[in-house]
Amino acid sequence: MIVIGGMIGLGKTTTAGILHDEMNIPVYYESVEGNKVLPLFYSSTPEEIAKNRYAFLLQLTFLSNRYHSIKEALTHDNAVLDRSIYEDYYFASRNHDLGRISDLEMETYTKLLDEMMLDVKGMPKKAPDVMVYLKGSFDTVINRIKTRGRSYEINLELVSYYHFLWEKYDEWVYESYKASPIITIDVDKVDILNSKRDRKWLIAELKKYCSRPHPLAK
């Protein structure tokens, strides 16, 4: 199982599609269609977000979806996850740092996540084989978000929020993520969409991890 992680807008869905085409692996995409809380979270004022607890509601919505996806993925020999439950805590913790998620809400969220992770560890595969981590400069993040054109994400007032997420992402991935080895793609230097050489390199790296026993397996 391959999980794809990284900052908003850096190409997780595109990368997942490439892996599907190149490796013939089913993909579990992170769906934003039909998510009623997401546009409210991005388009509301800080006061509205606080009053309606949109950050907490959004995190619970994503957590539920990611839990469902990883349970499905872990029952198959091969799968790609476009964002996974392993990264969910990062977004919750950063919104907690901002005060958008209260201490009590964070405690409730953490207990729920811990229970879900116990279930995940009881699945046949137990953990991903590798994470593909997409990173890039903050300018690239903003340009990519603008390019994909989701209206509720394109708001000058959101720039500081995106930067708040971006500035600690590397630290979290390299210091806190322990579920699997990591392959890093710096999207400012590596272009797997347009470069056959870069794509070939990624597939070769993935096969090193996906063709041998998982390092965390007993």
Best CA proximity match to 136, nearest among 105, 170, 89: 170
Q: Is 114 a catalytic residue?
A: no
Catalytic annotation, pick one of 21, 82, 103, 170: 82
Q: Report the distance separating Cα 164 and Cα 94, nearest Å.
A: 8
**CA torsion, points 78, 131, 116, 60, in degrees to nearest 10?**
-110
**78-117 residues labelled b (16+ CB within 10 A) or e (exposed):** ebbbbbbbbbbbbbbbbbbeeebbeeebbeebeeebeebb
**How would you classify residue 133: left for phi > 0, otherwise alpha for psi between -120 and 50, otherwise beta?**
beta
Query: In which residue are the tokens 């964070």 written?
Result: 106
149: which 2 tokens?
Answer: 């054109």
Catalytic residues: 82
